[in-house]
Amino acid sequence: MNLAKPSVRVAVLGCGTVGSQVVRLLLDHSQDLNARTGARLELVGVAVEEIATAPVPQGLDKALLTEDAIGLAQQADVVVELMGGIEPARSAILAATQAGASVVSANKALLAADGPTLFQAATEAKVDLYYEAAVAAAIPILRAIQESLAGDSVTRVLGIVNGTTNYVLDRMTLEGLPFDEVVDQARQLGYAEADPTADVEGYDAAAKAAILASLAFHSRVSFQDVYHEGITHLTQADIAAAAATGHVIKLLAITERVSGPDGQDRGIVARVHPALISQDHPLASVHGPFNAVFVESEAAGDLMFYGQGAGGKPTASAVVGDIVTAARHKAYGGRGPGESAYLALPVLDVGQAITRYQIRLEVTDRPGVLAQVASVVAQHQVSIEAVHQTARQASDGPVNTADLTVVTHHATEKALSETVVALAQLPVVVAVEGVLRVEGE
């Protein structure tokens, strides 16, 4: 006896780069998706800003287009929010949950800024809120942390979560090109927006770091909690110095649990900044616009997730995966995992992070300089792992100078940053030419 499959109404809010690909997948692969879901996915509408100017995905009945996103959200079983930004996306999601719809979103900015409000609304309405595509597109990192590692304890997550900056740094490293020229290349290839500020200043990666930290450490972490630096200040001199010590520079998102001397958790530190990674580390081999996330856990050990972290098709793949799961729950009952914030660990100031510095100095080339530098470092409870000095070509000025590279052992970010300030004030230090953290070692 053949029973008719239940029908699940799906609404897509936003039909840009990702939305149009989601619509295409829903239309082109409807039979496969229905079989995987166990229900008929019925596309009931696509919300756009202006019907008159909106591109219509191939195969989509233009009659399904609407400018009323909130009205459409109240008529579906699963609402797919791909508008981006804070509003009207937040209002549309809340309207959907209040109407009993599950939600799938790729909106990292909204989730990082006001995730608790959305999670609470979904919990009260007893519906799903899925957002795998919000971090690293097609890479299934959120589901892995939230579900596959649910029986483990994650201690640290670090990774490359912004394809634009990875492409820029990769080209600077491999081709020796200046920053501005590579950013222009990234624009032409579609890896960077016309205004790449969110990427190159670290805002995009910080939003993703907040989401990762919230999931990994069962605590609420928002965008405002994440320390972030961008890559706009990096030069070919920084790239060359990294290579000379066997490193490459990557923009890393790092979230970690910080323990006290007694081994008890003191809190979480979440940070985004350029860092030196050993050429032997798996993250060093991540090239172009690809992403990779390295997870350290107590039982499973070290895990790395790699793949395309941006683009319409990869992101749409993750979105449709969430749609299938949410639709299956709608058809047959059940719910996915909701927000888990039971640990409620405090978010600590970045000064309490434990890291290492590579400090590049221009110093006067005379006896006793290294002793003065070492003394200042020791005064700040920091120890030196290695020092390398190279004489510069003879200067036309009264004093010859040398390049001095100091690599520290692990210490707190506060102690290390204060050390750099003190070094800059030494009479024998002509300039602090570069400071980069060393991670993954």
Q: Which tokens sit at 306? A: 């790699």
Only one residue has tokens 């969430």, namely: 322
Q: Which tokens sit at 308? A: 């395309």
* Integer Cα distance of 390 and 393 in angstroms: 10
Q: Which tokens sit at 330? A: 């709608």
How far apart, in Å, do the first and last CA atoms of the chain sit? Answer: 61
Question: Nearest Cα to 81, choosing from 109, 53, 40?
Answer: 109
Give the C-alpha distances (Å, rounded to integers) separating 407 from 13, 206, 284, 359, 414.
50, 26, 19, 6, 16
Look up residue 5 and give its amino acid. Answer: K
Out of 108, 208, 250, 330, the active site residue is 208
* Integer Cα distance of 399 and 394 in angstroms: 9
Q: Do residues 377 and 383 lie in contact, with contact meaning Cβ atoms separated by under 8 Å?
A: yes
* Cα atoms in the 13 Å half-sphere on the side-chain side of 426: 25
Those residues whose C-beta lies under 8 Å from the C-beta of residue 438, and which sit 6 or more positions away, are: 247, 275, 276, 355, 356, 357, 358, 407
Q: How many residues does the chain have?
A: 441
* Integer Cα distance of 335 and 129 in angstroms: 9
> Residue 208 catalytic?
yes
Residues catalogued as catalytic: 208
